[in-house]
Amino acid sequence: MKHLQSVGLSEEVAKAITESIAIGRDRDLSMITTKEDFFELKDSFNGLKEDFVRLESEVAIIKNDIGHIKEDIVGLNDKIDRKVSGLHDKIDRETTSIREDIAEIKVSIKEISQHKSVMLQWIIGLFIAQMTAIAGVAITILMKLHS
């Protein structure tokens, strides 16, 4: 009211405006709710606001946990990739080693086969030489016997 009077309104006009505003507020609030209900509702909103702030905090914590879980998953994927890569390398080395061993075995078999062939030729040659010697002795004995 004093504010209205300081702007140049008369006391009666300022009082009338102030009372009109007060009556309008009383009517508006009285139609909707009582003063006690209003403050109870206000307290409920404050409680909801606190709950909302708490939930925001929990959501931030969960988002942070999700970020850590994602980092862990990436780390595990990297570990798995390194292990799989290591296994591939190990399998490649083992496969190469086995191939080299097989190649050596093939060479050994070929060498043995060649040695067998040479040995058979020597055995056959010795057998022919012995048979020739025996035949020579037998012919000599037969010739002595016929003479």
3-state secondary structure the chain: CHHHHHCCCCHHHHHHHHHHHHHHHHHHHHHHCCHHHHHHHHHHHHHHHHHHHHHHHHHHHHHHHHHHHHHHHHHHHHHHHHHHHHHHHHHHHHHHHHHHHHHHHHHHHHHHHHHHHHHHHHHHHHHHHHHHHHHHHHHHHHHHHHC
pLDDT in tens, 55-94: 999 999 999 999 999 999 999 999 999 999 889 999 999 9
Band (127; pLDDT cuts 50, 70, 90): very high
User: At residue 8, does pLDDT exceed 60?
Assistant: yes
